[in-house]
Amino acid sequence: MTHQQILDKLAAKHLVKSIDDDMARLTFDAMCYEKDTEKQLSRILPQLLNRWNCILNADEISNNYKQKTILVLSIILHKYGFKDDTINKKAIDAIDLLNKEVVLSDDFFRKSEDIKQFIISPPISLKRKPSIPESITFYRKGDVISIQLENHFYAAYIHLITRMNESPVLEFYNGVFDKIPTWDDLKDLSAKGEFYNSGIERITRFSVYGLKYLPDTANQIQLIKACVDNPPVNPGLKESVGAYSVINLFKLQSVITKLFK
C-alpha cells in the first residue's frame, strides 16, 4: 500500500492536492534551514496548522470533511517523512468515524486496519528537497478577501494578478476582526501601511504565491466581494519601496503578525 493509494480512497482530490502543495512548500523551506527532521517538523507544523485549523476548529464545517482533513494531513506528513503522534491518533479515530458514517467505499472499510498500521509506521525522510508546485491563482483583480490567522480575521484588496495568473498582489485594510468582516465593515477603511525603522509608514503590498483555490479548501481565505473598483485609500502613507514584496502563503502569516502587532 502506498500513500497515493490511500489518498485515492478518500474521494477528496482537491483537498489532497491542496495539502500536498502546502507540504511541498513548507518542506522545501524547512530543508533549506534545518538538516534534522525534528527541527524541520517544528518549523512546518505550526504554519501548517495555522492554515488547516481553519477547517478543524470551524463550527460551520461538516464533521466528515474535518475527519477527511485530519486523515489527509497525517498521510501527507508521512509521505514527506514526518509524523506527529497527536495528528496520527486523530487520524486513526477519523478512520473509525468515517466508517461509522459509511462515508467512503467498501474497499476503504476493508483496508482500514492496514491504513492504520501504515499511519503509525516509521516514515522515510526525504533525501532531497521536494519540487515546489507550479504557481497559479483563481483570484482576480478587484477581489476583497478575508484571511484568518488563529482567532482573528484580516481583510485585503487584490490590486492585480501577476504574469499568467501566477499570484495576486494584495494590500491590507487597516482593521482586525473577531469574525469574517462584511463589505460594510471595510468600505470606509483606509489601507494598512508598514512602519520602517525610520518611523515612516509606507504603502505596502504583497504578491502571494500559493494563494490558489477559490473557494479555499482550507477555509482560511474567504471572498467578501468581487469586482470592487476602488482600492482602500492610503492618505498619510508615504510611497512604497518597490512595487510589492514577493512572499508565499505561509510567509504571509509572519507578515500579518508583524504588520498588525
pLDDT of residue 197: 86
Same domain? For 110 and 169 the reply is: no
pLDDT band of 261, cuts 50, 70, 90: confident
Max Cα-Cα span within the chain: 64
Mean of all residue pLDDT scores within the chain? 97
Whether residue 246 contacts residue 209, with contact meaning beta carbons closer than 8 Å, is answered with yes
Sign of CA dihedral 26, 28, 33, 35: positive
User: Does some domain include residue 26?
Assistant: yes
φ/ψ of 78, rounded to 5, equals -60, -40
pLDDT of 55: 98
The pLDDT assigned to 211 comes to: 96
Predicted local confidence at residue 31, as pLDDT: 97
pTM of the model: 0.95
Residues 113 and 196 placed together within one structural domain of the fold: no
Is residue 135 included in any domain, yes or no? no
Domain boundary among 120, 136, 169: 120
Q: What pLDDT, in 10s, does the model give residues 50-78?
A: 999 999 999 999 999 999 999 999 999 99
241 has pLDDT over 90: no
- pLDDT tens profile 87-139: 999 999 999 999 999 999 999 999 999 999 999 999 999 999 999 999 999 99
Quote the percentage of the chain above a pLDDT of 90: 96
pLDDT band at 150 (very low <50, low <70, confident <90, very high): very high
Are 62 and 155 found together in one domain? no
Grid cell in block for residue 171: 494590500
Query: 3-state SS of the chain?
Result: CCHHHHHHCCCCHHHHHHHHHHHHHHHHHHHHHCCCHHHHHHHHHHHHHHHHHHHHCCCCCCHHHHHHHHHHHHHHHHHCCCCCHHHHHHHHHHHHHHHHCCCCCHHHHHCHHHHHHHHHCCCCCCCCCCCCCCCCCCCCCCCEEEEEECCEEEEEEEEEECCCCCCEEEEEECCCECCCCCHHHHCCCCECCEECCCCCEECCCEEEECCCCCCCCCCCEEEEECCCCCCCCCCCCECCCCCCEEEECCHHHHHHHHHCC
In a domain, 138, yes or no: no
Q: Which phi and psi (to 5°) does residue 164 adopt?
A: -95, 70
Average pLDDT over residues 192-199: 91
Indicate the pLDDT class of residue 185, thresholds 50, 70 and 90: very high
Q: Among 104, 120, 136, where does a domain finish?
A: 120
Please check the confidence at residue 198 and state whether its pLDDT lies above 90: no
Residue 128 lies in a domain: no
The share of the chain scoring above pLDDT 70, in percent, equals 100
Indicate whether 192 and 231 sit together in one domain: yes
Query: Is there a domain that residue 226 lies in?
Result: yes
- Are residues 157 and 87 part of one domain? no
Which residues face 146 on adjacent strands? 155, 222
Going by DSSP bridges, is the β-strand pair 206-209/245-248 parallel, antiparallel, or unpaired? parallel
Same domain, 38 and 105: yes
For residue 106, tell me if it sits in a domain. Answer: yes
In a domain, 131, yes or no: no
> Per the structure, how many domains does the chain have?
2
Flag whether pLDDT at 145 surpasses 90: yes
Residue 159 falls inside a structural domain: yes
- Domain containing residue 81: 3-120
